[in-house]
A and B are shown apart, each in its own frame.
Chain A
Amino acid sequence: MGKTVRIYVMGREYEVPEGLTIMKALEYVGYRYIRGAGCRAGFCGACTTVYRKNGDYKLYSGLACQTTVEDGMYLVQIPFVPAEKPKYEVSEIKDVEDILRVYPEIARCLSCNTCTKSCPQGLETMDVIQSILRGDIKRAAELSFDCIQCGICSMRCPAEITHYHVAQLVRRVYGKHYLKKSKELERRIKEIEEGKYQEEIERLMKLPREELERLYKEIRR
């Protein structure tokens, strides 16, 4: 074994090879993921991790599949983020007043910037909320576009805002009411509704598993 680092998983010390991601290091020491892992490529936001480093008072956060282990890391996985998710009808939500009716707590933002500092995507999360509060739907939607919904912002926020749900609502509102309608999309939907792909779908549905696997591999190649 080459160089190793010491990590602490929920308080217990382990020695793991240098250069592993947190996710791989946890598997290396014997953990098996049944929650808190997804695409393993930094896109799905399922593997939220919080950690501290030796001799550093800061609480860090990141994606386990994207962050490399460091010597003296204290790790814990967050397999699920509990967050209120109210039901709404996007067609009825247009401006900041409507958004405040669904998520009144966003008015509690004090600009502490904790959310921005915790974002593994490096998004300006606080500016998303502040943009909504001044009615700038476009800016909020654009600033939050790369959100992967890991939810760590919402776990850290002292105002208990669920930024990732709020931001998703804003992007929906922006798409529904502000962006230009896509003609291509409308054409494609019409084709689907008229049954253009029906025959193909029905053929696929009837295929045996082996044949589907063969086709899948062919497409991947």
Chain B
Amino acid sequence: MILLGKYRYMYYPGCTLKGWAKDLETSTLKVCEILGIDLIELDRWYCCGGVFELSDNLMRHLGAVRSLIKAEEKSKEIGTGDLVTICSMCYNVLGRISFQLKKEDIEKINFFMDDEKDYSGKIRVKHFLEVLKEYGFNKIRNYVDEQMGIKVAPYYGCTLLRPEEIGIDDSQKPRIMEELLEAIGMDPVSFPMQTVCCGSYNSARGIKAVETLRKKILESAKREGAELIVTSCPLCKYNLKEAMYFTELMEMALGGARHG
């Protein structure tokens, strides 16, 4: 058994956080270090698939299920069944696998995997925002020494909130990011388009609608007086072009640089 603190979680980074969204991981880990939260990366994990496939092709779920199996193994070692992701997309896929996949589909996948370990469905997939809420936004307040008061618009997009079964907050009127922003000395600004889709992977196909959505979302935030827009999703950030990760802002607010 590894000796860990009170706040310990298994951690699934996902491919993007090891690649072009490295800033999302480094800022999160920095924030965790300051707050005393242990994120323990799984020894083995696989691409979640990037999107939750609605087709009946169960092969598409293998990477996610396999990662959850690795988490079940790891959970015995560190004594928690909580698996944390930061990327909204990975959260959505892993969450839906763990909460929505039908029993007979899990049985089929286990039978396909055959001589490997079965997935028994014991993992609770959590988004990092939920971890921070559990930790206590009031407690986070103690780590902030300067009220920056920047007008920050939290952009949720789809994957944190929909479908409802895995939504980390109310799918129409979420508050979780506003509450966090307020705790770290910002001036949160809710805006009408904050739960609208950014266009998702359509940007990879060069579809114009993504640009239209980008403009609408940014204008909607600006109209409410926002100076800055934050997200937890690398794909949303890519599509919006003018957003930053909420964890980067947290690192600044918690004096990440001072904490070495």
Q: Which residues of A contact B (CB under 8 A)?
A: 96, 109-113, 126-127, 130, 133-136, 158
> Are A134 and B19 in touch, CB under 8 angstroms?
yes
Known: A130-B46, A133-B47. A113 touches B66 (CB 8 A): yes
Complex Cα–Cα for A112 and B195 (A): 34
Known: A133-B15, A135-B19. A111 touches B44 (CB 8 A): no
Quote the shortest CB–CB distance from A40 to chain B (angstroms).
30
Given contacts A110-B60, A111-B47, A133-B47, 19 further A-B contacts (CB under 8 A): A96-B19, A110-B49, A110-B62, A110-B63, A112-B62, A112-B112, A113-B62, A113-B113, A113-B116, A126-B46, A127-B44, A130-B46, A130-B47, A134-B15, A134-B18, A134-B19, A134-B47, A135-B19, A158-B59
Quote the shortest CB–CB distance from B94 to chain A (angstroms).
13
* Interfacial residues of chain B within 113-168, with CB under 8 A of chain A in the complex: 113, 116
Quote the shortest CB–CB distance from B87 to chain A (angstroms).
12
Tell me whether chain B's interface is mostly helix, strand or loop, or mixed: helix
Q: Which residues of B contact A (CB under 8 A)?
A: 15, 18-19, 44, 46-47, 49, 59-60, 62-63, 66, 112-113, 116
CB nearest neighbor in A for B18: A134
Complex Cα–Cα for A112 and B114 (A): 11
Quote the shortest CB–CB distance from B30 to chain A (angstroms).
20
Complex Cα–Cα for A76 and B138 (A): 68
Complex Cα–Cα for A136 and B19 (A): 9
Quote the shortest CB–CB distance from A95 to chain B (angstroms).
9
Complex Cα–Cα for A134 and B12 (A): 13
Complex Cα–Cα for A205 and B46 (A): 54
Chain A residues, Cβ within 8 Å of B18: 134-136
Chain B residues, Cβ within 8 Å of A135: 15, 18-19
Chain B residues, Cβ within 8 Å of A110: 49, 59-60, 62-63
Complex Cα–Cα for A210 and B142 (A): 87
Complex Cα–Cα for A23 and B47 (A): 39
Quote the shortest CB–CB distance from A218 to chain B (angstroms).
51
Pull 5 A–B residue pairs with CB atoms less than 8 Å apart, ordered by A: A110-B49, A113-B62, A126-B46, A130-B47, A134-B18
